[in-house]
Structure 1
Amino acid sequence: MHVLVLGGTTEARRLAEFLVTTDALPGVRVTSSLAGRVARPKLPPGEVRVGGFGGAEGMADWIRAHGVSAVIDATHPFARTISFSAASAAAAAHVPLLALRRPGWVPSEGDRWHTAGSLEEAAQVLPGLGRRVFLTTGRMGLAAFAGLDPLWFLVRSVDAPEAPFPLHMEVLLDRGPFTLEGERELIRRHRVDVLVTKDSGGEATAPKLTAAREAGIPVVVVRRPPAPEGVPVAADPEEAVAWLRGLRT
């Protein structure tokens, strides 16, 4: 069995580690595919390829050429383009596809959440919520906030953000997991009065939500894009391994 893992997430690395370093599925071959958007990615064990496939047709060709038996889409919940390409490619190559998606965040008592359907919608509601923004939506898509000149932004991302970006901005290059104490200190030191985040889910970046709740500041949460219809979903790597076992029976 040759499994293609579309990765770049913590869950993708955990899945590759489990399949490569244990006897959970003896004889399985794992290839992890990374988009190459991060300069120094954390590489999983097993075979790794970096870069795009050239769309759904190119991915289907790669699947056929390399004898892939199953595809697991473990990309970021907001990587909509690659997820739909994977669905099309798997269907064209006649191989099973599973989406590995960490559950989204759920608001707790005391949270002041405002949901938005896009980064542009999040930018529209910001002026009425605060003036010092902790922006944790990644290095891409900052153009949505570029016209908000009266606001100040603390932008955190793994790599340097891409222009255009806000006029008043400080960049913090960092990679999770983040601690609650660290997030408290960031909010206090930078006098943050509103947080913007995507509903990425997971524990690595969740402490900022707790810190915002404790500080009593509003949070703008960008909802996840719709997933391809008909693709089964696993909530964690263990469920993904169980799905792969089922393919062998």
Structure 2
Amino acid sequence: MDQLLNKEQYCNTWMEESEIFRKKMVYQWLTNFTPNGNILELGCGSGQGTYQLLKKHQVLSLDNNDFLINEAAKLIKEQAKIHKCNFLELTQEDKNIIKDFAPKVIVGWFLGSDGEEVEKYTDKGTNSEEKWDQYRKKIEDIITSPDICTPSVEYIHLANRNIFSSNYNEQKTFAATKKEYDTSIFSKINFEVVDVKIMAWPTKDSHFQYIGNQYYSNENSFKAIVSILARRKAT
């Protein structure tokens, strides 16, 4: 977690990583699976994902890292609003801004934060993997809370990194991913996973230190980016 110790260090390493994503067209790939409508983006990052989303959507992006906000603003200019706020400590003003925007889709791609932030909101004495798992679950709870997932929201689009067996089966992977995410996240808010896409992702070019998952792999597995789309169930 050393290189992610503070917000500036996190910004510098994520800028490098997101540039690799841009060159490999990862953000463009993800937007192919993002439904139309107002997008509430959790984490503007370097602005590369926001830039792709803006080609088809209105976007309100939330972030609390001044360094990343400044970098994203250079790229997207005035095309989208970036609202500085702390996901885990939303003020009434933050909640009103989200509600007034009336998002149809929540986007949470590669959610993470700097080491200081993770330390602040996780239990003391736990290792990096446990801390990241705790932090991720807190963010997922916020995404599915009424403050973020307002009545206007119809879809939630997540993206993360994972490892898959070399004998990967699309149907089995969808079923397993749906069961995991519906059980742990979506069923409690009457959403369900409706689409899962996999993009092979060799990390040999990456210098980014991922919290909580070192992506150990062997000849019987491969690393991948996962797109997970959930939709509100009809009532």
TM-score by length of 2: 0.41
Which one has the largest radius of gyration?
A: 1
